[in-house]
Amino acid sequence: MARKKKLIKGIFNHHDCRPGGWDLKYGQDQNTGGLWNDIEIIFHKSAYIQTVLVNSEVDIKNRSATVNIKVIILSIKNISSTKIQFKITSPHNKKIICKNEYLLKEGKNEVEYNFDLDNVLFWWPWDLGRPNQYKLKIDSSAFAEIRVDFGIKKVELDENSNFIINDKKLFLRGTNIIPTQFLSELKSDRIKKIIRLIKHANINIVRVHAHVNRQELYEELDSQGILVWQDFSLQWTYKDTIAFHNNAVRQIKEMVMQFYNHPSIAFWCCHNEPGNQVETLDKKLFDAVKSIDQSRIIRIASNYEEHPYEGWYWGKADNYISTPMGPLVTEFGAQGLPNKKSLQKFIPKDKLFPPDIDYWEYHNFQSDQTFNVAKIKVGNSIDEFVNNSQQYQSELLHKAIHYYRRKKNEGITGIFQFMFIDCWPSITWSVVDYFIQKKLAYKTLQKAFSPILLSVDLRQEQYFPGSKLNVEFWIINDSYNEYKNLSILIMFDEKKLHQINNLNIKDNTKIYQPFESLLIKLPLKIKSGEYNITFKLIDSKKNLISFDYYQINIVQKNIEEFLEK
């Protein structure tokens, strides 16, 4: 009889990235429980504030909002009258103060107050504006003051799964994050380093993958303007009992209440890869979230049908040309080995090369996929193996992201690469290893996620001298800036081959130049061999906006070139 989980810890309990992986024998080798943050003892007066929930009804066009503040107060006695002061401070330090008299009864009390705000400074993701936050202070003689930061925004998914924030449509360039397996080690300086790398990679949303993290992470995401898709801590399937369902419903409500005021959170998601439990447990979880928060997007699950792992668990990387499992793709990717110096920190010399497969698999290395699906070559040294692995991961992400982004406004609305950083010394799908060293694929992700992207499809790799270059391209603009008089400069072995001028692209759109509309000739007098060809998108001042490069092979139009030797 199959055993089913009943402990709600998500990836901290059962996952590919655990120490020992999801293996029944080794997957619980390192405990993720216990105390992981500071403990404080707070002395209250007659009452204390249990929860503050700040919500907004917004009018984007008129830059106004009604801010609703709901306060849950627990009192140890009846208090006939107490003054509660609400103070809101805007990002520009403008203050609004209101006082009201309230009756508090012994036990649980709910107090509400509404503020009408004009000239609102909305919270925006970094690529659309500033992540403005307001400050709220609540004070009374009956309880200790409490301070809450909040942002004012509106988010929705339209009928085509386009993400819209503050009435602006945004293509989601995302990644999945599991910053650590051990929350006690995730200090503020490490959080800041990780978030800085995420932002520099042009990522505008992170999926906190199947777990709940510490407050400091969400605070940094708030301040840096990075959107959050927040998963509940359910990974794969669990016991289907009433008792477990009730426990999960209680805990998902607690999660929503705990993180309610973080403006970065745009999505709640009830379960990762639940299989058939999407029809049972997850419906209850969806309703539970909706009963508390209707201001955000609620996803019942992130299930297998939106996790295309072409070129890793099946198929080939080229299959991404069909842009599978859209419109909102919440996982895709491939493993890549960390750099040699990082590997040496957790793999002993005698197990490093040739690889001790059992030892490597304990550290999450997937041998079947590496050798039998991706067909990555080990080579003659650890350096060669690292290079081959990172090159494969980089090329797969390049293909996948470019194929998906070319379908902007044509059925693909967002993509989440899996994953950003290793959560312990391991070998995973990350583009940054546990020691915060970038893999080759980090730069690939950074380039491919550029808000303004030149995406080139080189449809042929071998040519005769003087042939027409078999190429087409897209310029994708995720920003709300219009660009005029752009040019594409094509370089052949660092020499100018061709230039396409007077390209204009409107905000939040794309342009496409098919092969038939282009006439780009390769040099006529040229020897056989490999040559580099670079495509650069530049503005009128010759500033580089985006680029891509390929290698092509030149052969002579001579039958001897094609005879078997």
What pLDDT, in 10s, does the model give residues 503-559?
999 999 999 999 999 999 999 999 999 999 999 999 999 999 999 999 999 999 988
Can you tell me which residue has the tokens 């403008």? 94
Per DSSP, the three-state class of 452 is strand
Q: What's domain 156-334+398-448's superfamily in CATH? A: Glycosidases (3.20.20.80)
Q: Name residues of the chain where pLDDT drops below 50.
A: 1
Residue ranges, CATH 2.60.40.2550, the chain:
452-562
pLDDT of residue 25: 83
pLDDT, averaged across the chain: 96
pLDDT of residue 2: 62
Amino acid at 313: Y
In angstroms, the CA 55 to CA 292 distance is 11
Amino acid at 207: R
CATH code 3.40.190.10 for 452-562: no
Q: What's domain 47-153's superfamily in CATH? A: Immunoglobulins (2.60.40.10)
pLDDT of residue 1: 44
Q: Output the CA torsion 365→369→370→373 (10° steps).
A: 180
Q: Is 201:123 a contact under the CB 8 Å cutoff? A: no
> HSE-up of 225 (CA within 13 Å, CB side)?
15
Q: Is 344:3 a contact under the CB 8 Å cutoff? A: no
pLDDT of residue 565: 65
User: What DSSP string runs through 57-116?
Assistant: EEETTTTEEEEEEEEEEEESS-EEEEEEEEEEE-TT--EEEEEEEEEE-SEEEEEEEEEE
Residue ranges, CATH 2.60.40.10, the chain:
47-153
